[in-house]
Structure 1
């Protein structure tokens, strides 16, 4: 079945490398026939969290939150693309994710992490995994870490190292398995 899988990017820096990773995973999702819109905090320009989407009176949330809430509610899964800032999650990513809660429930997430160095952002991914579980979109067991992103991917998101496309294929297959399983379960109802 075709899945709706938004790719949530974490960086707003002017020379952000995460855009390479987002383009890379979007291409892999779309090659499977999935819809993978980019959720870019730079384009969204969300304010620092003061009120969550659900804390606005019905129909009175800012338009950008309404549109994003609608996309999240229709989604089957999420891919979160995160760099590693001081061994932690980028602030723009945390701010984007924190505006919502119920919209994530009962849908899996998957983490693509990256860094300019050899660790591929995995230290931030461990913190992100905890956060995603807490907001109701637990991450799949596998990660897709991309070390040395500046040479591993081209600016338009094509792999320049032989192992990366194969790893992405397995990663997308695992996410699809969880997304399809949870889609069937949501159709039968959720615990609350």
Structure 2
């Protein structure tokens, strides 16, 4: 069954490497028959959070927030692609996520983290897990860390290392399982 799985990229740096990981995951999700729109803060150009989407009077939110709210309400799951900045998540990612709340509820998330070094961004992923849970979209148990991203993926998002396709396959299998289970439960109602 086809799912809607937005892939939220977390960096706006001009030489950002995360776009490689986002392209890789979008392609792998689409190859499985899922809709995987890329949510790119560099293109969205959201202002620093002053008012959440839900705090605008109905019909008065900026168009970009309306479009994102519509996408998130259609979503069955979310993949978040995060760099590690100073052992934490990038500010652009936090800002992109913080504009919404209820739109994420009862949907699983999956974290792909990366870095130029050997740790693959896992320190940021641990903080991101807590944040995603608070937003109502707890992360699946598995992570997809990509160390040395500049060598692991080319600019188009094609893997240069064999392990990556296998690891991504297991990661996405797990996300799809959770997404299908929670979609079925949302159809019968949620606790609140």
Give the equivalent residue in structure 1 for 2:10. Answer: 10
Give the equivalent residue in structure 2 for 1:122. Answer: 122
Structure 1: unaligned runs, 5 residues or longer: none
Taking the aligned partners of 2:159 and 2:166, their CA distance within structure 1 comes to 10
Residue 63 of structure 1 deviates from its aligned partner by: 0.5
- The answer on 1:87 being equivalent to 2:73 is no
Q: How many residues align?
A: 192
Residue 109 of structure 1 deviates from its aligned partner by: 0.3
Give the equivalent residue in structure 1 for 2:19. Answer: 19
- The answer on 1:155 being equivalent to 2:155 is yes
Secondary structure of 1:110's counterpart equals strand
TM-score by length of 1: 1.00
Residue 162 of structure 1 deviates from its aligned partner by: 1.0
**Paired residues for 1:1-192 under 5 Å:** 1-192=1-192
Q: Deviations over 1:100-154 (max 9, x none)?
A: 0000000000000000000000000000000000000000000000000000000
Taking the aligned partners of 2:51 and 2:165, their CA distance within structure 1 comes to 40
Q: Deviations over 1:73-117 (max 9, x none)?
A: 000000000000000000000000000000000000000000000
TM-score by length of 2: 1.00
Structure 2: unaligned runs, 5 residues or longer: none
Taking the aligned partners of 1:29 and 1:139, their CA distance within structure 2 comes to 17
Taking the aligned partners of 1:102 and 1:158, their CA distance within structure 2 comes to 34
